[in-house]
Amino acid sequence: MADKEISQAVIARLPRYFRYLGELRDDGVERISSRELSRLMNVTASQIRQDFNHFGGFGQQGYGYNVEYLYAEIAKILGLDRTHHLIIIGAGNLGQALANYVDFGRKGFLVTGIFDVNPALYGKKIRGIEVRPMEEMARFVRENNVDIAVLTVPKSAAVGVAGQLVKVGISAIWNFAHVDLDVPGEVKVENVHLSDSLIRLSYLLNRKGAQEEGGV
Amino acid sequence: MADKEISQAVIARLPRYFRYLGELRDDGVERISSRELSRLMNVTASQIRQDFNHFGGFGQQGYGYNVEYLYAEIAKILGLDRTHHLIIIGAGNLGQALANYVDFGRKGFLVTGIFDVNPALYGKKIRGIEVRPMEEMARFVRENNVDIAVLTVPKSAAVGVAGQLVKVGISAIWNFAHVDLDVPGEVKVENVHLSDSLIRLSYLLNRKGAQEEGGV
């Protein structure tokens, strides 16, 4: 398989390619040239050709890329050719927002359980899924083939919950708590630190101001 | 000012430094060596020294870095030494979750308005802020010195709303809609594409499986 040699930089770009190719596919587009895709995605055509070469997506002169083939290849590399079972820990606004994202289900990410420590929320249904007490989490993960836990608890609770998740053998944590988790290497973590993202925007604004004043 | 030469890679790391230094400061720590910070943040000490050198954060032999000074310097570079006024467009679960983030206010990001197209939500208060009809958005932005708009509307509405925001002269858009916005260069955009993030986690899981089977 080719993906062994794919660099982190290419990997980081794959979700965006996947999104655009999926939209083209949904629109019934069968093939596309690197130039057309370049215009659409606002990256250079040579970047696209280089990236796609990494996983056997060789365009043909005068034909372009086969959209369906590329889409399926990228899906395989990204592990999107199989179903993932998710639980959400923390049934606050953010947890509920994530539970309601229709798009995740369409990509094979199925939310099967939602947990919270607040008894007032027990039994409440979010998109048909009942909020359960945290005490039931460990058994639920073991019995329901859960591979991903989504962490939307406050920062102060996150490290403790992550410890519980590691103990029960979770494979991956999607972490929205604003703290870096210290888990064993075999547990994969993807952080969504929203404050950091907002701060990057503030930086761009700040630079913009500096430039408009003539640069410093 | 030193920040003119700071590379994108360093900039991308600044929010995390800012977070750790803020926590140290809150804990009353006055100075820290690159070695201690390295252990804490799980990056190499030489990386830290290189990064801090970019903006005049020169540690002293046997003394280490002055936490308060570094924190203030990074805050300045990131534009966190002034207040930003935000509006949230889309008062669904995600918009409400963001409005409720206490941490943003603490960093100088003040949510001053929330807008939606759903009349059922008009007048509803989220953290004391009333949800207003979209028709009032343009005037509100002009009259209230709003510089950042947070976009939590569905993908189908996002491009249209972004167009309205550009027209009314917004400076920056924090975009949670799963679509790339095409706005003039002077309007700064930071995307939070949650699906892309979840897909990266799926990739890590997929690689992990491949490795455990002996690699391919």
If asked whether residues B166 and B110 sit together in one domain, one would say: yes
Task: Name the pLDDT band for A209 (thresholds 50, 70, 90).
Answer: low
- Per-residue pLDDT, A2: 43
- Per-residue pLDDT, A214: 45
Closest residue to A192, CB basis, from B41, B92, B194: B194
Give the strands of the sheet with A109-116, arranged side by side.
A125-126, A129-133, A109-116, A84-89, A148-151, A172-175, A188-191
Q: Whole-prediction pTM value?
A: 0.87
If asked whether residues B183 and B135 sit together in one domain, one would say: yes
If asked whether residues B167 and B138 sit together in one domain, one would say: yes
Q: Distance from B150 to chain A by nearest Cα, in Å?
A: 10
Strand partners, B84: B109
If asked whether residues A69 and A90 sit together in one domain, one would say: no
Count how many domains chain B has.
Answer: 2
If asked whether residues B27 and B71 sit together in one domain, one would say: yes
Task: Name the pLDDT band for B104 (thresholds 50, 70, 90).
Answer: confident
| Within-domain flag for A7 | yes
Total CB pairs under 8 A between chain A and B? 169
ipTM of the modeled complex = 0.88
- The separation between CA A44 and the C-alpha centre of its own chain, rounded to angstroms, equals 24
Closest residue to B93, CB basis, from A77, A97, A208: A97
Cα A52 to Cα A56: distance, rounded to the nearest angstrom: 7
Which range has highest mean pLDDT (A210-214, B53-57, B162-166, B199-203)?
B162-166
3-state secondary structure of B178: coil
Q: Stretch B144-170: mean pLDDT, rounded?
A: 96
If asked whether residues A188 and A166 sit together in one domain, one would say: yes
Query: Quick check: B104 and A147 CB within 8 A?
Result: no
Task: Tell me the one-letter amino acid at A99.
Answer: A
How confident is the model over A1-18, as pLDDT tens digits? 444 557 878 888 899 999
Closest residue to B201, CB basis, from A16, A18, A172: A172
How confident is the model over A82-105, as pLDDT tens digits? 999 999 999 999 999 999 887 788
Query: Quick check: A42 and B94 CB within 8 A?
Result: no
| Within-domain flag for B159 | yes
Does B82 have pLDDT greater than 80?
A: yes
Cα A198 to Cα A17: distance, rounded to the nearest angstrom: 24
Average pLDDT, chain A: 89
| Within-domain flag for B173 | yes
C-beta separation of A19 from B195 below 8 A: yes
Residue with the two structure tokens 């001053």:
B112
Nearest to A151 by CA among A75, A94, A83: A94
What is the CATH number for B191?
3.40.50.720
Task: Name the pLDDT band for A159 (thresholds 50, 70, 90).
Answer: very high
Q: Distance from A190 to chain B by nearest Cα, in Å?
A: 6
Task: Name the pLDDT band for A216 (thresholds 50, 70, 90).
Answer: very low
How confident is the model over A20-73, as pLDDT tens digits? 999 999 999 999 999 999 999 999 999 998 898 887 766 676 788 999 999 999
Task: Tell me the one-letter amino acid at A121.
Answer: L
If asked whether residues A186 and A90 sit together in one domain, one would say: yes
Task: Tell me the one-letter amino acid at A182.
Answer: D
If asked whether residues B109 and B7 sit together in one domain, one would say: no
Query: Quick check: A196 and B103 CB within 8 A?
Result: no
Q: Distance from B16 to chain A by nearest Cα, in Å?
A: 7
Does A213 have pLDDT greater than 80?
A: no
Percent of chain B whose pLDDT exceeds 90: 74
Task: Tell me the one-letter amino acid at A33.
Answer: S
Last residue of a domain, one of B53, B77, B101: B77
What is the CATH number for B56?
1.10.10.10
Query: Quick check: A15 and B195 CB within 8 A?
Result: yes
If asked whether residues B59 and B159 sit together in one domain, one would say: no
Q: Where are the alpha helices (DSSP H) in B28-78?
A: 34-41, 45-53, 67-77
C-beta separation of A104 from A70 below 8 A: no
Q: Distance from B62 to chain A by nearest Cα, in Å?
A: 28
| DSSP-derived secondary structure letter, B190 | E
Cα B73 to Cα B3: distance, rounded to the nearest angstrom: 10
| Within-domain flag for B202 | no
CA distances from B86 to A21, B12, B211 (A): 34, 22, 45
| Within-domain flag for A204 | no
Percent of chain A whose pLDDT exceeds 90: 74
- Per-residue pLDDT, A211: 57
* Residue A108, domain extent: 84-196
CA distances from A11 to A3, A26, B135, B199 (A): 9, 23, 41, 10
